[in-house]
Chains A and B, each alone.
Chain A
């Protein structure tokens, strides 16, 4: 049996659902952020801090960055397992995929910690 050791939730069905739930969260978050910048033409530091520093936006930003970590992992996993295969990149495919997945994990970890630091220090 092929074991699915690198997928996000060890289950394709669960990954499928998570990808969609997090997508909806991220689409709504993007809409909120873009909407804020659209309706705030005379933007200032105080207004920016006021917006992102509100408890509701702090929670929404945290939810969004956690959703990003799951969503991006599932997406990047799909791409990695589709293209970094022996048929495409030769016999070192497993090593290449390992390095690629490691880089993705590090980047997403940094994003989560960085975002928490930015939004929860306001």
Chain B
């Protein structure tokens, strides 16, 4: 056994790098969208079915919970697409260095956050 192992780790200084947080969020929004497609299809099915169905769908979307779900889904789409576009840049070896990746991830997070807020303004 090595005797020069580090001891007494300062756990409060250990955290995920921003790129890891962005990656897990990409996965989480993907799972949200997997479920959210069901909500989207249901709403579209209702709204397209008939004039009465359209009015019913409009009525449903006046509700606070429905608006929150819609905003959550829009936010997930926005984030998932932004993170995906960053991924395509990485595939082209753009911003795939450690420092470049961090900067690109922060830029992606800022752009997503702005768009998510704008989506919220649009929904409410």
Contacts and interface: CB of A to CB of B under 8 A. Distances in A.
Interface of A: 20, 23-24, 27, 30, 34, 38, 44-45, 48-49, 52, 68, 72, 75-76, 78-79, 104, 107, 111, 114-115, 118, 122
Interface residues of B, number: 26
Contact of A23 (B47, B50, B84): B84
Contact of A45 (B33, B50, B77, B87): B50
A76 B88 contact: no
**A-side interface mostly:** helix
Interface in B37-77: 37-38, 41, 44-45, 47-48, 50-51, 53-55, 74, 77
Contact of A72 (B34, B53, B91): B34
Contact of B54 (A44, A115, A118): A44
Given A20-B88, A48-B48, A115-B41, 18 more contacts: A27-B84, A30-B81, A34-B74, A34-B77, A38-B122, A45-B47, A45-B53, A45-B55, A72-B30, A72-B34, A76-B30, A76-B34, A79-B31, A104-B34, A111-B37, A111-B41, A114-B41, A122-B48
